[in-house]
Homo-oligomer: A and B are copies of this chain.
C-alpha cells in the first residue's frame, strides 16, 4: 500500500498501476478503485473525445467524456464528489473546463538536493547533483497534481545552480525518464534556464540579438523537444537578484524573451518570463525609489512587445509573497501581453509550514481584484519535499489542494475549498479542522506578524520570527520607517506615487486612508500612532490589540487541535508544530509590542504586559 500522507484522497489507497500509460488509463484505474469503495459510482465508462479541449470533460449518464487529460480530471472530480458523500445525480451537468489552460507548479529544487525556501525536507527528486527518487513518490506527486487539475511542473529552481544547466543538455535522458512518470497524470515538464547559459557553453556572449546565441538556443530547443516531445517550455528569472539577463547587453526584456520564444516556437513551446525585476541594492537613505513600483515601471512600456508564446509571470503582489499585499498593478495594467500570476505555496514569509497559514483566502482576495480573464496562466511555487508527509506540516497539503481548485475555477470559495480538503483528508475530524483551524489561520498569523499591512518586520534571510528593524537599513527596498511619531510609507501620489499605477477606482480606494482596507492601511499610508481607526481605537492600540489577540488565538487553535480526532502520526506532527507556532506567536506579540511601545511611549489601554 502506498504512503498516502499528504494526499487528500485518502479513501483511494492505491496508486494507479505503473502500466497506465495515458491519463485515460489512469482515469479507468481510479474509477475502478472508486467503484469498489462507493458502489453507487460504479459502472462509469471513459470516452476520450479528440474534439474536446485537452483538459475538459463532461459526465453524460454513465459516460465520462473528455479530452486527453480531461477524462482524468473528470475521474478525480467524480471521486471527490463520491468521497464527500454526494450522489451521481448531484454531479454538475455540462462541460467542465479550467479557467486557464496552463496550471503550473514551480519547484525551487536545486540539484544538490536543497530546496530554496523549502520547508518540507530536501528535494523530492534531486540529490547529490542528479535525479534521485523513488518512482512511486513521483507518481504520487503526479496523482496529487492531477487530482486538482495541475498540468505543468517546473523541476528546478528559477535561480539556476550547477549542474542544473545540464537539464537541457547531457541530463536530458534523466529528465525524460522523470517526465515519463508524470505523463500518465497529464503533467508536462518545464525547466528553469539560465539566460547566460551560452557563455557557460563556451560562447563569447549571451546577447539575445547575436545570431550565434539564437542558433545556440534553437539547437538546445531542438534537443529538448526531440527527447521530450510534449515538453512545456522554459522558465526564466533574468536581471533579478543578481541573475544574468538582457540588461547585460543593453537589450529589453522583450528582446530577451522573444529570442527564447523563437527558439521554442517551432516545437509549440512556451517561454515563461518572470517579471521580478527590482533594485536589490537599494540605498535605504533614498526615498525616491519604491520597490513595489518596479515591475510596472519595467514591463508596462513593453506591453504588446512580447511574442505570442511568451507568458509574463508576475507575483500576485508588488513585493514578494508577503502575508498581505495589494494585487500587482502590472497584472491590472498590461493589455496586450499573455500574463500569469505567481503564488507561493512554500510558506516563506507565512510560517515555514510550522505556523498554520491557509492560502485559500490569498487566492480569493486576488481574484476579487483581478478578473481571471486578464490571465492566460497561473503558477505557484511548490510546498513539497522529501518529508514523509510531503508537506512538512500535514495540513500544508491544503495549500496545494486549494491552489489547484482556484487554478481550475477562480470563482472558488476560500472557505468551501478548505472544507472540501478537510472532509477528504481527515474525514474523522469533522467540521472543526476547517472552521476553527484552517479558515481562521491566515487571519491569526496576520494579526501577530503583519497587522495593518506592515510587512518585513521579520528575521532577515530566514523570514521566520520577528525582527522589527531587520530590513530597515538594508538594501532590499523593504522599509516601514517607524519613528516615535508615525509608521508606514505614503504610497499615494503625494508620496512615492505607487498607488497611481492602479486603475482609477482602486487608486481612489487605496489613496484615501478612510477607504483604504485596514489590512493595507500602513502599506499605503504613513500615519501617526494616534490615527483613529474606524472603530474608534487609536492605531497604536490596534497594533497592540492585534498582537495580543493573535497570540491568544494561536493558543485557542492549539486547544482545538488537541481535541481533534486525527490519525497518527499527523496528529502528533501537527501538535508539535502548533506548540512551536504558539511560541512564535508569543515572541511576535512581545517583540513588536515592545518595539512600538519604546517608540511611541503609549501604554496599552487595557494594562496588559508590554515589556520594557
Contact = CB atoms under 8 A, between A and B. Distances in A.
A287 B473 contact: no
Contacts of A482: 598
Contacts of A287: 612
A302 interface: no
A601 B484 contact: yes
A482 B612 CA distance: 9
A485 interface: yes
Contacts of A601: 483-485
B473 A466 contact: yes
Max chain B CB contacts within 10 Å: which of A284, A595, A598, A600? Answer: A598
A468 interface: yes
Q: How many copies does the complex hold?
A: 2
Given A287-B612, A611-B285, A612-B287, A599 B484 contact: yes
A482 B595 CA distance: 10
A84 to B, nearest CB: 46
Which secondary structure dominates where chain A touches chain B?
loop
A467 interface: yes
Contacts of A284: 611
A242 interface: no
A96 interface: no
Interface in A444-474: 466-470, 473
Interface in A553-612: 587, 590-591, 594-595, 597-601, 611-612
B473 A598 contact: no
A467 to B, nearest CB: 7
Interface of A: 284-285, 287, 466-470, 473, 481-485, 587, 590-591, 594-595, 597-601, 611-612
A522 to B, nearest CB: 16
12 contacts: A285-B590, A285-B611, A467-B469, A467-B473, A468-B469, A469-B595, A470-B470, A473-B591, A473-B594, A483-B598, A483-B612, A484-B600
Contacts of A591: 473
A285 to B, nearest CB: 4
Contacts of A285: 590, 611
Contact of A612 (B473, B481, B595, B598): B481
Contacts of A467: 469-470, 473
A466 B284 CA distance: 13
Contacts of A611: 284-285
Contacts of A599: 483-484, 598-599
Max chain B CB contacts within 10 Å: which of A284, A285, A481, A590? Answer: A285
A611 B483 CA distance: 12
A594 B483 CA distance: 9
Nearest to A484: B484
Nearest to A601: B484
A482 B599 CA distance: 9
A-B pairs, 7 with minimum CB distance:
A483-B598, A285-B611, A484-B484, A473-B591, A469-B469, A484-B601, A484-B599
Contacts of A485: 601
Contacts of A587: 473
A355 B481 CA distance: 29
